[in-house]
Amino acid sequence: MFRLHLIPYGTKFDFVGKTRYILTIVSILILTFLGFFVVKGLNYGIDFQGGYIFEVKMPEIPNIESLRSSLGNLGIGEVAIQQFGNLDDLSIKVERSEEGENQTIAVNKVKNALGEGVIYKRIETVGPKVGAELVSNAIKAVIFALIAMLCYIAVRFEWQFGICAVVALLHDCIVMFGLFSIFPMEFNEMSITAILLTASYSINDTVVIFDRIRENLGRYKSMPLKDLINKSLNETLSRTTLTATTTLLAILALYLFGGKVIAAFSLPILIGIVIGTFSSIFIACPLLTFLDIKPKKRKDGKEPANIA
């Protein structure tokens, strides 16, 4: 049976040997991203900055791109449009302007642009306080997710594995937040989803490699830890690259052909997959060389047999 291998068997890349150089570069990048995040902040979207939410039923199925262009030319701030339910049901989010007296004008402009025959199911104000609470809850969600993953890895493996996995996940999250700060990408609820997806993908990759490391710890008890980790990384490299490539191709199709809204959601995930794969190979596993890891003992107190 034909099997696809992007990386041939028997590779002997020295991943661990480059650890100090990679960690130095990564540390500089993280400090740079944190600096941008502290100084520049994030380009908050309507969900976090506040604004108006319209839920309307159009008299006929609208042309979303044309409507988005029409509302975007009103000069009232960022406008986001999504279909929900039936094709003529729309959710329209309008960014809150800084001057309070312009809010009524903004609402009237949207109504005039939508035209006659529109049924307004809901017009709701999202204030800055609500936006601040959403930001706080989003950060808490990321922190709690990291803590939960730390507990899972520590229980499934050993505490050393858990620490290395969370350090890699922190790297992923900081880089993602930094990219949102450096580049003109809107930070909204979908961005939080993209960051959590990146963390989930990264930890899945990391667990697969950790499993092989733990297995090899029992097989090659006399092998130096550096060589054992390199061996484990090379043995799982084909699987890692193949998984990343197929996932990237699927997300790339969404980015290219999914429309403007889907593209805005897909781009952070595309970047996140690359970041997550990098951290699993070059950060999480090589960091184990700085910790004292040993084969996990069985319930009878004995170490796994050497089956090499």
Domain that holds residue 253: 16-42+131-290
Residue 100 tokens, joined: 């309070």
Give me the tens of pLDDT residue by residue for the chain, a chain 308 residues long: 445 556 666 778 888 888 889 999 999 989 998 888 888 887 777 767 777 788 888 888 888 888 888 887 777 767 778 777 677 888 887 776 655 445 677 778 888 888 788 888 887 776 666 666 777 777 787 788 778 877 887 787 778 888 888 889 889 988 888 888 888 787 877 888 888 888 888 888 998 999 999 899 888 888 888 999 999 999 999 888 888 999 999 999 988 887 777 887 888 889 989 999 999 999 998 888 888 776 555 444 444 444 33
Tell me if 97 is assigned to some domain.
Answer: yes
- Rounded distance, CA 84 to CA 201, Å? 28
Same domain, 261 and 194: yes
Whole-model pTM: value is: 0.74
Same domain, 116 and 142: no
What is the end-to-end Cα distance of the chain in Å, rounded? 28
pLDDT at 101: 45
Tell me if 153 is assigned to some domain.
Answer: yes
pLDDT at 248: 92
Residue 86's CATH number: 3.30.70.3400
The contacts of residue 78 (CB under 8 Å, 6+ apart) are 45, 46, 51, 94, 95, 186
Same domain, 151 and 285: yes
Same domain, 150 and 117: no
Residue 188's CATH number: 1.20.1640.10
Same domain, 181 and 153: yes
Tell me if 149 is assigned to some domain.
Answer: yes
Count of structural domains within the chain: 2
- Rounded distance, CA 118 to CA 58, Å? 5
Same domain, 284 and 161: yes
